Each structure stands twice: as structure tokens, then as C-alpha cells.
Structure 1
Amino acid sequence: MNVFVIGANGQIGKQLVERLKQDGKHEVTAMVRKQEQLDEFKANGYQVVLGDLEGDVETLKQAMSGMDAVVFAAGSGGSTGADKTLLIDLDGAAKSVEAAQANGNIKHFVMLSALKAEDRSAWPDSMKPYYVAKHHADRLLEQSGLDYTIVRPGALTDDAGTGKVNVDNVSTGEIPRADVAAFLAHVIGRQEAANKAIDLVKGDTAIEETI
């Protein structure tokens, strides 16, 4: 499949495009926001396009031209305020879903969300804007008519990946970003993962055996 990764310069996005390139199962196109990021990705042999989640839907649609799958792995980052969370994590995700709908050829949309995003009672006060954004972005995707997979990882760490996760009866936990990237790569294009929201923390099951 031709896979379009939004947020390819992020901590998980970078590891995802690298894994997709190494695996060789899909053709990957990275979307980045800045020219210097584009230059870096090109220098490393990636297909890459410029895109701005604060821009318009039509431009995103054009960037997705020829793609079969979209992975939304973008985020405003922990150092920004609620305004950027609203613009990137919510409206940027919404625009990406709208662009995928308008594209007409997208067979699978994979959304990187957060554990407990669906459960308002579980949101910590300090992160409510982030969870509000994830909650409504997920709902928009679920209602879009696109085949989707929502991946909801627990607390993210920079530990080395283990290649093993838990996706069953998850209540809390953490997971290395490397394993989140590996799991995203694993679910792309898999019919078994279609129209599901999957909670994800570190565990004892090999990623390849989860779906």
C-alpha cells in the first residue's frame, strides 16, 4: 500500500516511517511542516511532502493523492498550550479525516490516540484539553465512513522497544514509543484491525501475534 504518514517528524512518526521503509511492505510518504525537515527526509531517501495541519483541507487532499492508507501521528507537543492542542490534535485530525474522505481512494485511516480518550471520567485535570481533542478526533473518525483503526497507547516512554505489548483488558500502563511505532506499522492495511479502537501498553504478546 501507499502509506501517508502525517506527523512524520514527531517522536513516533519518525520511528514509524523508518520501520515502514525497512520492512519494505509498503511505500511510505512522509508529511512534514518545515522545509528543513523535508530536506532531511529527502537526504535520507524518503518520499516526503510539505503539509500544514493549520492549512486547508483541499491542500491536504492533494498531498494524499495516490495514497491508500493514512496514519495520523501528529501532535502539538507537550510544550504548547491548549490553543495548539485544539488546532493540531483536534482540528488537524478532523481536516485529515475530511481530506481522506474527499480523496475517495483511502482504504484505511489509522489514528494515534491516547489510552482512556473515550472515557471522560478518567481524564486528569492537567491534560483535559489534550484528552478532549483526542476524544472528539476519534469520534469524528468513527463516524466518517472510512475504514479506521484507532490506537490508544498508555503513557509513552523512550525506553528501548521490546516488540511485545498487551492489547487485552488494558486499564493503565506505559509503553515505549518504539513499540507504538511498530504496532502502527503492524496494523496498516489489516482487515482484522478495521473499525476497531485498540488499547496498547507494554506486555508479553509479540506485536505480530496481536491482530
Structure 2
Amino acid sequence: MRIVIAGGHGKIALILSRQLAGRGDEVVGLIRNPAHEADVRDARAEPVLLDLETASLDEVAAVLAGADAVVFAAGAGAGSGAARKDTVDRGAAVLLADAAERAGVRRYVMISSMGAATGGEPGMDDVFAAYLDAKKAADDDLMARDLDWTVIRPGGLTDDPGTGTVSVGRPGRGTIPREDVARVVVAALDDPATAGVVTEVVSGPHRVAVALADLTD
């Protein structure tokens, strides 16, 4: 498969690129900073400079042409304000979906966040609330489209080694290694039955493929 990953220099994206390329997939990583090209190549992906905050629909669609799937793994990142939570975590995700429709790419896997089902809540830090609001808006937009979408909402992310085992559905608060989030994305890409599925995911006792299969039964 040819898979385009938005946010190609993020930690999950680089891990995902290695996992996909390691089994023979062709991976393209969209990045906004040319200094990140070497890291993306080291992950065995093809870096493409494309800033989803400023790119046009036609520019993004041209990059997606011929792809089998897109994965949204971008994010404004720590230290960014509420405005960039909206332009990246929502706006870039929506633009990628618009471009996927134009390019005829039906498969779209969204890496979202636990808490995106409700968005920001009273009493939260303003920037974190804006982040969850942006994630909710992006998820809602995607779920309203006629695409083969899957929305994955991980709990707290860690850099611990992956275990290959998770809990999915509505498992409650928890953490999960980024390596295992990438494994869930790979498994979702491999399983057409996950189209139309929204799931939270944290570390747990079930092998990834089995957990997703149980979720889609």
C-alpha cells in the first residue's frame, strides 16, 4: 500500500513509518520543516514538504493522488497556543479529508485523543480545552463524510517500549506507549471492518489485532 502520513515527523508518525515500511508498504511523510527530512528518511518514508496550515486543497490533493490511505498524525504540539490547536488539530485534519475526497482516497485513519468525544470541559486549562475542542471538531467532521474512516483515541502517550497488548472501546483513563498506538493504526489499516469505528485505546491485556476484531464483531 501507499500510505500518506500527515505530521510525518511526529514520534508516532516515525514509529508508524518504520512499521509500515518494514513490511513493504510505501510511506510518505508530510512535514513542514525541511530540517526533518533526514529523520523521515531514516524511518524509511519519503519526506514531502507540505505545510497543512498554509497549503491549498489542490496542493494537498496532488500529494495524495495514487495513495491507498491517509493517516492524520499531526498536532500543534506542546507549547503551542489555542489558535494553533485549531489551525492544526482541526483545520489540517479537515483539509486532509477534503483532499482525500478530491484525490479519491477513501481510507482515512485519524489519530485523535481520549476526551475528544466531549471536547473541552469547564475547569480545564484553556489551551488543553481548546485542544480537545479542536480534536472533537475534526473527528465530527470526518465522521460526517462518506469516507472509510477510523478514529483512534489514545490515552496518555508514553515513550515506553510497546507491549503489543491493549484495551479498546471505552476502557477508561490510562496510558499507552506510542509504539502500540502505531500498531493499532497498522491493524486498523489492515482490517476493512474497522471503517466507521471510533475507539479509545490504552494499554491492556489483549493483542492488538484480537482487540480490534472483537470491537468490530
Q: Superposition RMSD on alpha carbons, in Å? A: 1.7
Alignment of 1:133-172 (within 5 A): 133-172=134-173
Seq. identity, %: 32
Letter aligned with residue 77 of structure 2 = G
Aligned residues of 1:85 and 1:133 also touching (Cα < 8 A): yes
Count of aligned positions: 209
Cα separation, partners in 2 of 1:168 and 1:93, compared to 1, 3 Å: closer
SS in 2 for 1:159: coil
The CA deviation at 1:163 is 0.6
- Pairs within 5 Å for 1:74-93: 74-93=74-93
Aligned AA for 2:14? K
* Corresponding residue number in structure 2 for 1:17: 17
Query: TM-score, with normalisation over the residues of structure 2?
Result: 0.90
**What amino acid maps onto 1:72 in structure 2?**
F
5 Å matches for 1:128-207? 128-207=129-208
Q: What's the counterpart of residue 215 of structure 2? A: none
Q: Partner amino acid for 2:205? A: D
Structure 2 counterpart SS, 1:210: helix
Cα distance change on mapping 1:181 and 1:78 into 2, 3 Å: same
| Structure 2 unaligned residues grouped into runs of 5+ | 213-217
Would the alpha carbon gap of residues 169 and 34 (structure 1) be closer, same or farther in structure 2, given more than 3 Å must change? closer
- Does structure 1 conserve the Cα–Cα contact (< 8 Å) formed by 2:14 and 2:43? no
Q: CA deviation at 1:35?
A: 1.7
Counterpart in the other structure of 1:49: 48
CA distance in 1, matches of 2:188, 2:11: 19
Aligned-residue offset at 1:157: 1.2
Q: Counterparts of 1:167 and 1:72 in 2: how far apart (Å)?
A: 19
Which residue in the other structure is 2:36 paired with? Answer: 37
Gaps of 5+ in 1: none
Instruction: Write the letter of the residue equivalent to 1:10.
Output: G
1-side partners of 2:172 and 2:66: how far apart?
Answer: 38
Cα separation, 2, equivalents of 1:123 and 1:164: 33
Q: Pick closer, same or farther for the CA change 1:133–1:206 going to 2, 3 Å.
A: same
* 1:85–1:168 Cα change, 3 Å: closer
TM-fit CA distance, 1:208: 2.3
